[in-house]
Amino acid sequence: MNNTCVGIVLNNRDYKDNDALIDVLTKDYGRLTFVARGVRKHNSKNATPCAILRISRFYFDYKETKGLQNLKIAEPVKNFFHIQSDLEKQAMGCLMLELMDSLQIEDEGAYDLLEQSLHYLDETKNPYLVLGLYVAKLCRYIGIEPFVDGCVNCQSEHQIVAISVNDGGFVCANCFQPTRHIKKDKNQLQLFRILHKAEIDQFPLIEESVIVTLDDLQDTFSFLMEYSGIRVKGYKFLKQIAEM
Ligand SMILES: [Zn+2]
């Protein structure tokens, strides 16, 4: 049987000889691992569509019982030129892929989130806002969303002064403990709430409202890392690039 699907390569690694194994998040089949034969040869037509940070179409014979799928042909659907040509955006895109890969989520919603985020990342001049929204949506996806509708300890909506990863959300002035919490200013609290409340497709509406840096995303990253237990290399790498 001939099958075809559109997908985003999460990672690719050497296999035998000139072959590679590629993990792909697809819209219709969830996550698939393809054996891409000969893809490491210089003249392989499949090499480019099997690389990361693009959307490709894959032709294969779907085998339900087998872990590995044999890739026949891959062809490009969309290239993210701005991500591929900008080192900082590239590091952000790689981190997005690595997070999705590590969390092992693979339904259609996960595909749409990744595709839409890469699309916005490619076009925007405010890329860290896209990354922040993406990380916050991943928190929601795996059920570790922080509480941002009031104080996580007493539910008070007044005098919110801090964000606590340990407590699980906002902290008010009454519950604030100087030994446990760090005070945040109004803008930091507001951004944190926006990241966790807004949907990814609302990005164009908030794109120009606040310019975001990697430092602004520290708490959102801490939530994801702390409660999911995953460790990623891409965050440290992005930090080095952002500080250059
Ligand atoms: Zn409180």
Give pLDDT tens digits for 170-196: 999 999 999 999 999 999 999 999 999
Give pLDDT tens digits for 189-237: 999 999 999 999 999 999 999 899 999 999 999 999 999 999 999 999 9
Domain count within the chain: 2
**Residue 135 maps to a domain:** yes
Model confidence at 129: pLDDT above 90: yes
Distance 181 CA to ligand 1 centre (A): 12
Domain span at residue 212 reads 82-145+182-242
Give pLDDT tens digits for 53-98: 999 999 998 888 768 999 999 999 999 999 999 999 999 999 999 9
**Residue 171 maps to a domain:** no
Per-residue confidence (pLDDT) for residue 85, from 0 to 100: 96
Per-residue confidence (pLDDT) for residue 244, from 0 to 100: 87
Q: Residue 131: which CATH number? A: 1.20.1440.120
Q: Residue 71: which CATH number? A: 2.40.50.140
Do 196 and 137 belong together in one domain?
yes
**Residue 23 maps to a domain:** yes
Residues 160 and 200: their CA atoms lie apart, in Å, by 25
Do 74 and 42 belong together in one domain?
yes
**Residue 162 maps to a domain:** no
Distance 145 CA to ligand 1 centre (A): 18
- 68 residue type, one letter: L
Distance 174 CA to ligand 1 centre (A): 5
Establish how many alpha carbons lie within 13 A of residue 205's alpha carbon, considering only the half-sphere containing its beta carbon: 8
Q: How confident is the model at residue 1 (pLDDT cuts 50, 70, 90)?
A: low
Which of 28, 59, 79 is the endpoint of a domain? Answer: 79
Distance 176 CA to ligand 1 centre (A): 7
Do 217 and 136 belong together in one domain?
yes
Residues 169 and 145: their CA atoms lie apart, in Å, by 8
Interval 85-113 mean pLDDT: 96
Strand-pairing partners, residue 55, are 8, 78
- Phi/psi for 52 (5° steps) reads -85, 170
The answer to whether 3 and 28 are in contact (CB under 8 A) is: no
Do 103 and 207 belong together in one domain?
yes
Distance 157 CA to ligand 1 centre (A): 8
Distance 211 CA to ligand 1 centre (A): 29
Do 74 and 94 belong together in one domain?
no
Percent of the chain whose pLDDT exceeds 90: 92
Distance 194 CA to ligand 1 centre (A): 20
